[in-house]
Amino acid sequence: MNRPSIYQDQQQRQTQALILAPRMQQALKILQVAATDLHAEIQDELQKNPTLEELPADDILSLDAPEVPPQTGPTQAAESSEIAAVLAAPEADDSAAPELDFPKQADPLGGDVAQPPASYSSQDAERREHFFNSLVAPPPSLQEHLAGQAALADLPHTQAEALHYLIGVVDERGWLSQSLEEAAQQSGCALSDIEAAAAVLRGFDPPGVGAQSLAECLLLQLGAKERENAQTPDGNSLAARIIAQHFELLTRRHIPELARKLGAPPETVRQAIEVISKLDPAPGRRFAVDDNRIIEPDIEVFKTPDGQWHLSLSRRYIPRLRISGTYRELIAKGSLAPEERDYLRERMQSGRALIDAIEQRQHTVERLARELLTRQRDFFEKGPAHLHPLTMTQVAEKLGVHETTISRAAANKFIKTPHGLFPLRHFFTSGYRDESGGEIANTSVKELIADWIAAEDKAAPLSDQAILEKLQTRGLSLARRTVTKYREELGLPPSSQRKQW
């Protein structure tokens, strides 16, 4: 019997999938957000969770004092076990004895158990409500916009991890800041998974995102326009041919030569160039936040007069939290209705999960920073040109965590050094081995290229071939196309456009 062309069928399929518990999802989210964004998350949770309270300012360490690694002292352990007992206490009816008898004790971070909050007037409450209602939520960042689309992509687990990594290395323009080979090396993902994830990323909004060069970015946008207009994206349109085959002539706007090579009338070429000029070379910048915003460093590395390097973790935007003693006592008295008791228990569990996630975030970021200080000592001692090649896989193996944990810990974090403010991701880079056996990071190679171009004779600027030869005299063997790529990543035009008569 012939089966109809359209039919319904049921099939059973067994697959493996990683499902994260809500608590783990919250911890991963907190690990990768910036300090200022985490502050907003904490303030939001303080408003929703009555059992959470912020530690009074008098009990918080001075912001100017160096932080120490989070410790679990006897008092903190006592409070944790006390809260655990409350959360795990068996249900009892109203006539039963109190569930627990909590002794008065000091808070682990220096304050006494909180007293009931002071009452405030209805006018105070109204003003407070008006204040929070007036706050405008910031627009999503480019990474958040892409992550939302990634969540809807039906990908195998390994490709989903690769896609998450690539989203993390998309720069403010919307371009990938690493080659696919470098991304595979840094993330520990298979190159095939990185390539598959990159293909998915290039189909995301905004069109052009995930490109590795300006030409690719423009071609992706042309393809999106063709699909939007229900045209076949065969890549043979005149504008696409100009970008793909004659990009250098396009940058110089040599219309007569383009017309001759393409076999098209000059006016038709002008129209194609007009189409190209309306494309966005940096589609990610529409998601950029205010450039005048203050970047708060998460870590500061400094050298003391005796020559020792020290690391300080900032908590300026991360308030210290604790579970309110008032609500612990309410549960312990056993006078609450079952639904009230269950609600407070759930809120206390949520609050404890947030506190643990914040402390784990700080601990992980500090461990990462200390490892970078050890491995990149020459950078801190001598400057950016002395950065060594380093992968996230190497650091993950040293710290005993997964590469994606390192990726999340490095995301949106900044470190203040004697040489300036740098994102933590700056310290992860592939590199090259010179003839003497030493290693040099590709970021250091870019520093050399930038310095040479800055000092060049403007009447006879260095060509990419001349830069390649200068690198070879230092024992570095690179391809000319790599030099061109690094120059373009630095935002520097070719020698023909840098020449000044």
- Do 168 and 270 sit in the same domain of this protein? yes
Can you name the residues that pair with 432 across neighbouring β-strands?
Answer: 440
pLDDT given at position 309: 92
Among 141-155, 287-301, 305-319, 409-423, the least confident range? 287-301
Identify the weakest region by mean pLDDT among 103-112, 218-227, 237-246, 340-349. 103-112
The whole-number average pLDDT for the span 475-501 is 82
Predicted local confidence at residue 107, as pLDDT: 32
pLDDT at 367: 93
Whether 172 is covered by a domain: the verdict is yes
Contacts of 178-187 spanning 24+ positions with Cβ under 8 A: 179/212, 180/212, 182/429, 182/430, 182/442, 185/391, 185/393, 185/430, 186/391, 186/392, 186/393, 186/428, 186/430, 187/161, 187/162, 187/392, 187/393, 187/403, 187/404, 187/407
By percentage, how much of the chain surpasses pLDDT 70? 74
Asked if 249 and 258 touch (Cβ cutoff 8 Å), the reply is yes
Q: Domain limits at 158?
A: 142-287
In a domain, 459, yes or no: yes
Furthest-apart CA atoms within the chain: distance in Å: 96
pLDDT at 20: 59
Q: Which residue has the higher pLDDT, 102 or 200?
A: 200
Average pLDDT on 115-137 reads: 43
What distance in Å separates the CA atoms of residue 462 and residue 476, rounded to the nearest whole number?
Answer: 18
Higher pLDDT, 72 or 240: 240
* Residues 408, 273 share a domain: no
Confidence bin at 390 (pLDDT 50/70/90): confident
More confident residue, 476 or 75: 476
Instruction: Flag whether pLDDT at 499 surpasses 90.
Output: no
Both tokens of 350, joined, read 């949520």
Q: Which residues share a beta bridge with 303?
A: 309
User: Which of 74-88, 98-112, 142-156 has the highest average model confidence (pLDDT)?
Assistant: 142-156
Tokens of residue 319, six digits: 């308030």
**Overall domain count for the chain:** 2
Residue 441 belongs to what H/E stretch? strand 439-441
The reply to whether 130 falls in a domain is no
pLDDT at 244: 87
> Domain for residue 95, yes or no?
no
More confident residue, 10 or 461: 461
Average pLDDT value for residue range 255-280: 88
Give the mean model confidence (pLDDT) for residues 285-292: 62
Average pLDDT of span 137-148: 77
In the listed set 229, 262, 287, which residue is the last one of a domain according to the structure? Answer: 287
Q: Is 40 inside a domain boundary?
A: no
Count of CB atoms situated within 10 Å of the CB of 205:
12
State whether 482 and 373 are in the same domain: yes
| Mean pLDDT value across the chain | 76
Q: What is the pLDDT of residue 74?
A: 42
**Closest by alpha carbon to 443, among 454, 427, 455, 456?**
427
Please indicate whether residue 219 or residue 99 has the higher confidence score (pLDDT).
219
Q: Are 281 and 154 contained in the same domain?
A: yes
Give the end of a domain, one of 287, 315, 339.
287
The residue written with tokens 């697959």 in the block is 15
CA–CA gap between residue 236 and residue 219 (Å, rounded): 11
pLDDT at 198 over 90: yes
Asked whether residue 5 carries a pLDDT value surpassing 80, the answer given is no
The rounded distance, in Å, linking the Cα atoms of 66 and 41 is: 24
Domain end point (choices 247, 271, 287): 287
Does 390 lie in the same domain as 268?
A: no
Do both 395 and 279 map to the same domain?
Answer: no
Distance from C-alpha of 74 to C-alpha of 431, rounded to nearest angstrom: 46
> Residues 227-246: what's their mean pLDDT?
71
3-state secondary structure of 439: strand
Pair (251, 152) in one structural domain: yes
381 lies in the same domain as 490: yes
160 and 272 share one domain: yes
- Whether 259 maps to a domain, the answer reads yes
Residue with tokens 């006494």: 112
Cβ(88)–Cβ(100) below 8 Å: no
Question: Model-level pTM greater than 0.85?
Answer: no
Identify whether 330 is part of a domain: no
Question: Which residue would you say has higher pLDDT here, 137 or 275?
Answer: 275
Between CA 377 and CA 389 the distance in angstroms is: 12
My answer on whether 160 and 283 are in the same domain is: yes
Residue 102 included in any domain: no
